[in-house]
Copies of this chain bind each other. A is one copy, B any other.
Amino acid sequence: MSVLHRRTLLQAMALAGVGTALKPLALLASATPSVRPMPTGKLADWFILHNDRPWALETRRAAYGIAPITPQSAFFVRNNLPTPPESIIANRDGWRFEVSGVARPGSLTLAELKALPTRVVASVLQCSGNGRAFFPHRPSGSPWSLGAAGCALWTGVRVADVLEHFGGALEEAQYLTATGAEDLPEGVDADQVVVERSIPLDKGMDDCLLAWEMNGEPLPLVHGGPLRLIVPGYYGVNNVKWVRRLAPTAAESGAKIQVSGYRVREVGESGGPQHPSMWRMNVKSWLNGPGGDGGPVVAGKAMLYGVAFSGERGVSRVEVSADEGQTWREADFVGPDLGPNAWRSFVLPVELAAGEYRFVSRATDRQGDTQPADATPNHRGYGHNGWRDAALTVNVVNTLPAAAEPEPGESVHQNAVATPTAAVDTPLSPLAREGRAVYLDRAQPACGACHTLADAGSAGVTGPNLDVLKPGADRVRLAVEQGVGAMPAFDALLTETEIEALAAYVAEATR
């Protein structure tokens, strides 16, 4: 393989750019008070922590294997609201969900659901914001790079069979709407925060599942156990967790997460029904190794490997380039093909001399769509699939340094509970002191109702833990003015000066 593009490690690191967004958990766990122990079954070493309240855990590049299944221990987590309590999986079979919008509305327990025809389907779950960190306009939301995605086998019952059980969908139905069972924060309009999503009913009838098993295990709580919706080939948000209601509906849900959230629009524009919803996942691929952990790789033969997928379509070809796309070589698929919504693993043998490489991969799906070099910027940083940003930087050396570090993920389960550390007392600026009052009193609902912030003594668990997020003032201002995800916009409720002060406060208090 000819290598036209090479640079020093330092240059590569500087160019990678997203470095600061990727906080290794181990680091955070020791530096930050109040990080919760990992969810059951998760191996801390395999994640980048974006937030712990609610959970936002990104799979590290080096944690992906070559088999086309992502194990529970390394599967990314993104919860919109706090995870429901463990008690909801104490008696899984007793879980009950309602079905309306059908000839004979009613409810089923999971035990009853299990008596309907069983299916097992492989599908990629991917957060709409996967790749957000690569967009230069720095959109709000967790700065995922590549690891907000995984592929699993899901066991469940087709939505079509569930609706048939209740006499079928009413005639006027155009959408399938699913509602999650998360506890909603008090003092906030339910429609602002409820996780309720709609997809076209045809899609729902075609291949969607209500699933209770993930990779042969009872669906873990943090992934929506006892029961979640699986929408094969659609972005994660549509795969509603902890389903308590399923309904064919004439219109899309009126919840904010549907009406204005997860809509693709120009940078700076507010989302609305006129914008496309984050439904089918576009064609995408990336390389995971060797050297995905940033460690050196010894010169000689090497096998590049990665994953490729396209919602509902499957992929037909993956190519790899070592010269930023000037020349490409076709990679080989390995392992069983688990279906059009799963990802496929690919490999490509290369021969590497010492130096610095940037490898990129480009997938083409079965309908002929090929990944673009660069993703189209959009306000919230959704649907990134540009091949350039996903480059794998490999540092090839002639000999390894004497004492090689153990690989990540090698240690035993490290469900690290952070040791609370005393906050350093940095005096707040006058503006920030004013912002503290806004945080504590003037904003309604109060900031602390949803956020944890040690300086303010608040311990809300609905929105991001600000002590972990450590947002800059600009990010706070943007979120407060426009809202982010479940967070409402406060632009009509606070003055510009108040917002300015609040932004200064949160930034300074978490510095």
> Residues of A with Cβ closer than 8 Å to B?
40-41, 64-74, 86, 89-94, 111-112, 114-122, 153-155, 213, 215-218, 290, 298, 300-303, 305, 334-339, 345, 347, 349, 404, 406-407, 409-410, 412-413
Interface centre among A86, A115, A301, A338 (most CB of B within 10 A): A115
Interface centre among A112, A117, A153, A334 (most CB of B within 10 A): A153
A347 proximity list for chain B (CB < 8 A): 117-118
Q: Is the CB of B69 within 8 A of A216?
A: yes
A40 in complex: contacting residue of B71, B349, B404, B413, CB < 8 Å:
B413
A209 to B114, CA, bound (A): 37
- Quick one: copies of this chain in the complex? 2
A303 proximity list for chain B (CB < 8 A): 114-118
Q: Is the CB of A218 within 8 A of B335?
A: no
A69 to B42, CA, bound (A): 19
A72 in complex: contacting residue of B66, B71, B116, CB < 8 Å:
B71
Would A217 and B65 be within 8 Å (CB), given that A118-B334, A335-B120 are in contact? Answer: yes
A339 proximity list for chain B (CB < 8 A): 336
5 A-B pairs besides A65-B213, A116-B301, A120-B336 with CB distance below 8 A are A67-B153, A92-B407, A117-B349, A218-B409, A336-B337
Q: Is the CB of A90 within 8 A of B410?
A: yes
Task: Show 16 A/B contacts (Cβ-Cβ < 8 Å), sorted by A.
Answer: A40-B413, A41-B73, A66-B118, A66-B155, A67-B153, A68-B120, A69-B215, A70-B216, A74-B217, A90-B406, A92-B407, A114-B290, A118-B347, A119-B335, A336-B337, A413-B413
How close is A312's CB to chain B, nearest CB, in angstroms? 16
Q: Is the CB of A404 within 8 A of B72?
A: no
> Nearest residue in B to A121 (C-beta to C-beta)?
B335
A412 to B154, CA, bound (A): 21
A217 in complex: contacting residue of B71, B119, B404, CB < 8 Å:
B71
Would A122 and B336 be within 8 Å (CB), given that A72-B73, A93-B407 are in contact? Answer: yes
Would A215 and B215 be within 8 Å (CB), given that A153-B335, A413-B40 are in contact? Answer: yes
> Nearest residue in B to A154 (C-beta to C-beta)?
B67
